[in-house]
Amino acid sequence: MMFTSRMIQLFAVVLGKDSERVTEALLREGVMQFINISEVESQRPNSLSAVKPRVSLTEISDLRKRVEGFLHTGGIIPAAPKETDLNNRIPVHIEKERNHLAQIASERESIRQRQRTIQQEILNIEDIRRQVELYGTGLSGVTLPAKHTFISMQTGKLPVSNVKQLEDELRDLPSANITLGRENDMAYHLLISMKRDSEQINKIIAKAGWTKVELPAEARSVKKNIFKEFSEKLKALTDEQKKLQIKVNELAKTDAKHFKETWVNLRVNELFYKIQTHFESSSRTVIFTGWLLSSKKEKLTELIKKTCQDRCYLEWNEAGSKDTIGDEIPVKLENPKIFAPFQMLVSNFGIPKYGTIDPTPFVMPLYLSMFGLMFADVGQGLILAILGVLGVYLLKKKGQKEGLYYLSWLIIWCGFSSIFFGALFGAFFGMGLFEPLWFDFHGIISGHSVGNSVINDVFDILSVTIYFGISVITLGLLFNWINIIRSGKWMELFFDKGGILGGWIYGGGIYIASFMIAHDYKGLPPGKTLFLLVGLPSLLLLFKEPYHYFAHRKDEPGKKFNPLIILNFLMEWLVELLEIFSGYLSNTLSFMRVAGLGIAHVCLMISFFTLADMTSGIASVLILILGNILVIALEGLTAGVQALRLNYYEFFTKFFHGTGKLFTPISLSSYK
């Protein structure tokens, strides 16, 4: 668990007639990350050619994504294929499924077009209603009180047979056509529109046989409440909109079963042909190669031999062997599920180089300790934990939001860390409701500490974070030495600024700083001690550049030695020393931000309690509630980001080589 998992490479040759069964077996097992031999031109025999799938992988992938998109519109998330789906794999009728999708897409687009039209009508009516509300209208007199209104309103009559024609013509314009009454074969209407559309409106009503009239009083009083007409029309349009949406959803669900089966079959074929794109063939044989976990070697060997009835050649090469194909070894991080949120943090920074330390198990306690020291409060931590649990509950069944799911788990862990450190410091929503188990953080900052603890003032709090930082940096240096030893780079172990000499200087600097503090900053250790602590390792670093020069001189035969090279050695040495001294000093002091943010957290709570004391009753309670919400949101985010920064830049940079490539075997559960 501390190191990346051991990998092994398989080079296999099988008969062409067995390639289909072997492909199915490899997909069923799902443990192999294939290497495309054609991309490693120097290691590819000229007699080999790429195996071409019977169906275009691009066409299958494109159709599968279209089907998946269609299912998503109906709220359906297809599940990953199972082994039974592989056993029942059938050829894909791409053209047939394309036509089926096109037909449904056409129906759906027709409905969508009607929805857009209705939505435009709704906007038009709401636009008219806003104008009427703004300027008012006396319907009984059919007059407009303001000359500057944007509304044009007129009454008239037209043949009943032309009413539908008028309504159709007015559909795309913001207008309200209200029936006031009928007399014989004539319909009396009130037409409200925007003045900007007067020219178009006049053409439309003239075409419909509109005649402007003054209505009798009894006709004018029939429709006094114009807003009722607006509301009824809006309700009718909204209801139709809802019915159309239901129809769209039902359209997706009607063929859901068929398309789910189609998606599964497409996905199985896509993965099947994806494996075969990594095959190379000769006249009678097929060759493939790839990486898998060493622990899977025996099982896969048995499976391939059984599938081919021993008509195959299998060659296994350990990672790092000169016989392996390609230079990049994939990395598999195998951590218990409890570490998943912290593995996400590591992966966001980079994938560890193969064979090096996986820092995930160490990131968990370090990150949570940093967060807890900066955000120590039992009550606020409990709120964070509850929010995290809610996020986990809502995202549990949404596989495409895996990142947010693990982020929710991270929030839960951070909440528990806050609760733990809140108990150590005796903080509950900024109040000291119980005795602290370690020291009274709030009391020290506010100046009311009882003074019976080892930690009595702000300087003691800063010292805690400095010691914590020294421990983290030292751990990073030890990890770096382990990584270098495993890679066999012995001179780098000695001369690297994160190696033994760099660590020697850092340890010497810590001793010197401790000595000065113990002597009230009035003295340094004896001269011999200073020389042994920092002088000797600094002088030994002077040999680093000469060693590199003479060790690699044979690689540059035209390069001759001259006195200027000595000056270059000295400059490189001085720069290296400057980087070591300033780098380690800034790295260590950077951990003071843990204390700084913890102090800021306490000060914010003190400020809100002070404001609450200046008021009384409900106002005081509201200030405390809003204050806690602000602190949880602002300080919680800041503490999370700063804890991540300290891990990335003060811990990872000492040993982490994020140049690895994640192990992604092709299996039925593959995401891509």
Q: Please state the pTM of the whole predicted model.
A: 0.78
**Cα–Cα distances in angstroms (integers) from residue 419 to residues 342, 437, 443, 597, in the given order:** 19, 12, 18, 17
101 falls within a domain: no
Pairwise CA distance, residues 277 & 53, whole Å: 7
In the chain, the number of structural domains is: 2
Pairwise CA distance, residues 641 & 341, whole Å: 15
570 and 428 in a common domain: yes
Q: Is the pLDDT of residue 140 over 50?
A: no
Q: What is the pLDDT of residue 87?
A: 87
627 and 502 in a common domain: yes
Strands (E), 175-265: 175-183, 186-194, 211-212
Check residues 129 and 662 and name the one with the higher pLDDT: 662
Check residues 249 and 484 and name the one with the higher pLDDT: 484
587 and 448 in a common domain: yes
* pLDDT tens string 43-70: 555 566 666 666 788 889 999 988 888 8
Average pLDDT of span 262-283? 90
77 falls within a domain: no
Through-space distance between the first and last CA atoms of the chain, rounded to whole angstroms: 26
Structural domain containing residue 137: 116-244
Check residues 446 and 596 and name the one with the higher pLDDT: 596
Q: Is the pLDDT of residue 671 over 80?
A: no
Pairwise CA distance, residues 383 & 424, whole Å: 18
Residue that the structure tokens 């080589």 belong to: 657
For residue 521 the two structure tokens come to 């900053």
453 falls within a domain: yes
505 falls within a domain: yes
* pLDDT tens string 424-439: 999 999 888 888 888 8
Region of 667 (left: φ > 0; alpha: ψ -120 to 50; beta: rest) is: beta
32 falls within a domain: no
157 falls within a domain: yes
Pairwise CA distance, residues 194 & 128, whole Å: 7
574 falls within a domain: yes
The last residue of one of the domains, among 203, 218, 244, is: 244
Contact 628, 255 (CB under 8 A): no
* pLDDT tens string 586-624: 999 999 999 999 999 999 999 999 999 999 889 999 999
* pLDDT tens string 532-585: 999 999 999 998 888 888 777 766 666 666 778 888 889 989 999 999 999 999
Task: Say which CATH number the domain at 238 has.
Answer: 3.30.70.2750
Q: What is the pLDDT of residue 136?
A: 53
532 falls within a domain: yes
The last residue of one of the domains, among 244, 261, 291, is: 244
Q: What is the pLDDT of residue 226?
A: 65
The last residue of one of the domains, among 195, 220, 244, is: 244
What radius of gyration do the chain's Cα atoms show? 38
240 and 385 in a common domain: no
548 and 414 in a common domain: yes
* pLDDT tens string 455-465: 888 888 999 99
Q: Are strands 49-50 and 186-194 parallel, antiparallel or unpaired?
A: unpaired
* pLDDT tens string 66-105: 888 888 877 788 888 988 888 888 887 888 888 888 888 8
643 and 515 in a common domain: yes
